[in-house]
Amino acid sequence: MTVKLSDIADAAGVSVMTVSNVMNGKRARVSDETIARVREIADRLGYVPNIPARSLAASRSHIIAALVPVGENNSLLVSPHTVAVIGGLEQHLRHRGYHVLLRGIEHEDEIGQAIRGWSLDGAILVEFTDAEIDRIRIDGVPLVAIDSYSANPRTIGVRTDDHRGGWTAGTRLMEAGHRRVLFAGPPYEGMGVVGQRWEGFRAACVAAGVDAADIAVEHVLTTFEDGRELGLRLRRDHPDVTAVFATADVLAVGIMAGLAETGHRVPDELSIIGFDNLDVSAYTTPGLTTIAQDMPAKVAEAARIILDEIEKGEGPRAPVSLGVELIERGTVAAPRA
């Protein structure tokens, strides 16, 4: 026997419209007690929603894509940051009655193909460069770009205050007495996430009297292995450096591993600051001092914006920037005499 919305409404003592609103994630005018009662009855009766029919009636698919750039033959979820973002988005959107389509993008033209091919209600762009986002020419579908500084009017950016994060890292190392420092991060163009972190870090060092030309720079990809490779050769290639700012925790942890393999101690011989405050930063020995971005808040804001755009047509027209915080653990000390 097929369980209908009216069956749930009769058992719960509410209207069919109330049951429909609960099942479709429209809960602004429904009490928590009613939501819990309706869901309990639906589960007990074995109600199974007809998703295609619901989507057709609402003229929406209830599918939001999380699009992530990947290289050919590369695994999709290679970054701990990406894993945290996707997991948070799925939770927020699931609770509002939406499904998340996770799709790796090898070529830019696949963005439009994915949106049109799946009749998406919206898409959230994760870890695309600003140059890639600048070139998007898709109208009529809400697009939110996480960690984006693109001025493309077709997208809305949600990001951390990366310049302040770089400034905070540089200030902490300067206050500890370091003057020979190294910036480690992926190659970048323009003033995207990495560029903002570099500019903030450079400004803090210059404010403390360091010549910008004396700041060492290593362009390395944001992976543990690339960080480890840098750590293995760091003391050889940069014997005067006493502190490193890495633009991601996973990169910083890799650097620490490479240094340990070559017999160098953190922070006795070299101080390190990461960025993100991922779980891994608390598991190293010593624990990694890092710049924390509020990942749950960033993900929640991205979900809120895309849903407001889809359901109300009233998402913000200006980008959203969230604050940062220095988390002290054990990888920063005064430079050794």
Q: Going by C-beta distance under 8 Å and a sequence separation of 6 or more, which residues neighbour residue 291?
A: 165, 166, 168, 169, 273, 274, 275, 276, 277, 324, 325, 326, 327
Q: Which residue has the tokens 């109300």?
A: 312
67 has which bridge partners? 103, 125
Q: What is the pLDDT of residue 327?
A: 97
Which residue in 89, 117, 91, 121 sits closest to 105, CA to CA? 117
Residue 179: HSE in the Cβ half-sphere, 13 Å Cα cutoff: 6
Q: What is the pLDDT of residue 56?
A: 45
Give the strand pairing for 63-69 and 99-105.
parallel
Looking at the chain, the domain(s) classified CATH 3.40.50.2300 span 63-160+295-322, 162-293
Instruction: Round to whole Å and give the CA distance between 76 and 88.
Output: 16
Looking at the chain, the domain(s) classified CATH 1.10.260.40 span 5-49
Q: What is the pLDDT of residue 276?
A: 93
Which residue in 278, 279, 273 sits closest to 326, CA to CA? 273
Question: 63-160+295-322 has which fold?
Answer: Rossmann fold (3.40.50)
| Percent of the chain whose predicted confidence (pLDDT) is above 90 | 53
Work out whether the CA dihedral 168, 85, 184, 108 comes out positive or negative. Answer: negative
Question: 5-49 has which fold?
Answer: 434 Repressor (Amino-terminal Domain) (1.10.260)
Q: Which residues of the chain have pLDDT under 50?
A: 55-57
Q: Which CATH superfamily is domain 162-293 in?
A: Response regulator (3.40.50.2300)
User: Which tokens in the block code for residue 67?
Assistant: 């699009």
Q: What is the pLDDT of residue 249?
A: 96
274 has which bridge partners? 290
